[in-house]
Each structure stands twice: as structure tokens, then as C-alpha cells.
Structure 1
Amino acid sequence: MKLFYAKASPFVRKVLVVAHELGLFERIELLPAAAHPINRDATIRAQNPLGQVPTLILDDGTALADSRVICEYLDHLGGGGFFPAPGPARWTALAAQSTGDGLLDAALLCVYETRVRQEGERSPAWVAGQREKIVDALARIEAAAPSLGERVDIASITYGCGLGYLDLRLPDLGWRERAPAAAEWYAGFSARPSMQATRPE
């Protein structure tokens, strides 16, 4: 398998954490890519018309895009059980993943607005709106934190990658002060070998 990736991408990190946890990381060849919302990487586009990372190329040439799809494929391949079987537990896990991914989407939009757009094109109101989404998602993670414990599933992995991305790109948000229970949980979760091995630098 081959994975188009960028080290700073939190969605790539989700995939790599799952791969490490399932013992599949050594089976994946990492292909550095220059994904960008404007200057799109033609190499990725040849496999994924959206030109996004992560994009996973299977051994038979099939291309899988979107971290949710790739993580579920790896879970199936590795028999990890990170995605519960259909039923209430599955819908709860997928809803949590959606909240974590939404936080990441909003954080990325903040980054794009301030780093990709020219200064005269930037919208402070847009950034404020995205930061509101992050704060609301943080409140949901904070409420869930006491029940996370030692769980390692798609919900906890997505939450962990989301909080790590806030550290990387939005440290001024001060998320730990807003979400102390989540901060306490994250301190333990982020020490996992899979999280340490995928830390962006």
C-alpha cells in the first residue's frame, strides 16, 4: 500500500495512528505530497480528483480517499475493532469521529484563511466563526472525556489528533483551560507509542 501524506496533516495523522495501532504501518509506503487548496498537487490528483491527503493506494491500484474511509479499511484489514459493528455503539463512535473531524475542518479553515489567503482577502469574521465551531466541539469532547478512559477506537483517535492539531496550529486558543478533563485525558493518550511516532514537527 502507498499513502500520499503530509506530516502536518491531522487527517493523515489519524490514518497513521490507526496503522501503528494495528501493526500495519510497515506495510505502507509513504509518498510525500504537496497538497494545497489552491496549488493542487498533480501527482495526487491523478489518483484522487480532489487532490487531498490522505489518499491510500491499495496493492491492486484502488485509490481510497478521506481519513474516515481509509481508517475503516485499515481497521477491516487489521481486525482492530476500532469501528464497532452496526448498532448503538457504532453510531456513537461515528458521531464522535464526526465531531473530531469537524473540529479539524474548522481548524484547517482557520489556517488556510490566515496562511493561504493574501492579507487583503482575509475575513476576520470567517476565522471567528470557525473558532466558534472549535470551541463548541471542544465542549463536546470535554463532556465525553471522563468516559474515554483507556479506550482506543476511532473516537479517541480522532479526538487525540484533533487536540494535537490545536497545539500545533492554534496554541493561542488555550484549549486546555477550556477543557481541563479533555486535557487530563489527552496527557495520557498522547503518550501512546502510536501518537508519539506520528507527532508533527
Structure 2
Amino acid sequence: MKLYHSPASPYVRKVCVLLHELGRVQDVTLDTIATTAFDTSDVLIASNPLGRIPALVRDDGTTLYDSRVICAYVDDLFGGTFYPQGARRWETLTLEATGDGIMDSAVSMSYEMRLRPETERSQDWIEAQWAKVARALKVLDARWMSHLNGTLDIGHVSVGCALAYIDFRHGARNWRDGNDSLAAWFATFESRASMQATLPPAA
């Protein structure tokens, strides 16, 4: 299988972290591709009409896209346990959606700051996106620590990659301030071999 990949993407990192945790990195070839919201790769569009990464080309030539779909697929394919059954499943999926939502807002901020000309940037938009991130972090710190301190699942991976992306692109925001429990959890999670093996390039 082939994964269209950019080392700076938190969504791609989420898939790669899961592959490391499953011990199946060798089963997926990374195809690094240059693409942005304003300049989408034609190669990528041929596999994913949305022009977004990650996109996983399976051995039969069909493509899966969106990190949630790809992660669920590889976990099922390789017999993982990152998507538990029963009542915990819905907690796990909600936690994954929270991490992915943080990524969505943080990436949107990055696009506004890095891709738009300075005269066209909207500081109001940037701050509105950060407000979403900040609210989600507060809820994680207040309500989700028992889950995060429990058995590893896809929710942990999503939240961990989201927090790492904030450090990568928005470190000056100091998200740890006032989120002591979440910060302590992340200090342990980011030291995992899977996270260290998937570090993005220097910002």
C-alpha cells in the first residue's frame, strides 16, 4: 500500500503513529507529495478528488482518504484494538473527533498565517479558530483525563498529534498554561517511540 504523505501534516502523522503502534510501518510505502490548499498536486487529485492528504492507495488500486477512515481501515486490517467495542467505543470516537477538530482549527490558522499575503490575512479568523482550540483543550483537561490515562486507543493518538501540531506551528500560544493535567499527559505521550519516529521537520 502507498500513503500520500507530508511530514508536516498532523493528519498524516496520526496515520503514521498508528502504523508504528501497530508494528506495521513496513507494510505501507510513504509517497511524500508537495501540495497546499492553493496549489493542489495533480497526482493527489487523481487519487482523492478533494486533493487532501492523507490518502491511502490500497493494493487493488482503490484509494481511501480522510485520516479517520484510513486509521479505522488499517486498525481493522492489521487486527488492532485502537477502536474498542462497547460503551467505550463512543467515548473513543468522540475523543478522536475532538483531536481532529483541534487539528482542523490549528491548520486553518496556519493556512491563514502562512499561505495568504499579509495584507489579506484576517486576525479575527485566526483568533476565532484559536478560541475553538482553547475551548477544546479546557474540556480535555477537565473531563477527559480518565480516558486519556486509560488503555491506548485512537483518541489518544488524535489528541497527541493535535497537541504536537500546536507546538509545531503555534508554540507561542502556550497551550499548557492552565491545562496542567493535559500537559502532564502529553509530556509522557510525546516520548513514545511512535511519536519520536514521526517528528515533523523544523518549523
Range class of TM-score, shorter chain: over 0.9
Residue 10 of structure 1 corresponds to 10
TM-score, L = length of structure 2: 0.95
The alignment status of 1:117 with 2:105, answered yes or no, reads no
Q: CA deviation at 1:150?
A: 5.1
Aligned in 2, Cα 1:150/1:90: closer, same or farther, shift over 3 Å? closer
Q: Distance in 2 between matches of 1:191 and 1:150?
A: 17
Q: CA deviation at 1:35?
A: 2.1
Quick check: 1:148–1:185 contact (8 Å CA) kept in 2? yes
Amino acid at match of 2:61: G
The alignment status of 1:134 with 2:133, answered yes or no, reads yes
Q: Distance in 1 between matches of 2:62 and 2:23?
A: 21
Residue 98 of structure 1 corresponds to 97
Q: Distance in 2 between matches of 1:56 and 1:197?
A: 20
Residue 29 of structure 2 corresponds to 29
Q: Percent identity?
A: 44
Q: CA deviation at 1:149?
A: 1.8
Amino acid at match of 1:187: A
Q: How large is the Cα RMSD of the aligned pairs? A: 1.0
Q: CA deviation at 1:179?
A: 1.1
Q: Distance in 2 between matches of 1:18 and 1:2?
A: 15
Structure 2: gaps (5+ residues) = none
Quick check: 1:146–1:181 contact (8 Å CA) kept in 2? no
Aligned length: 200
Quick check: 1:141–1:159 contact (8 Å CA) kept in 2? no
Residue 44 of structure 1 corresponds to 44
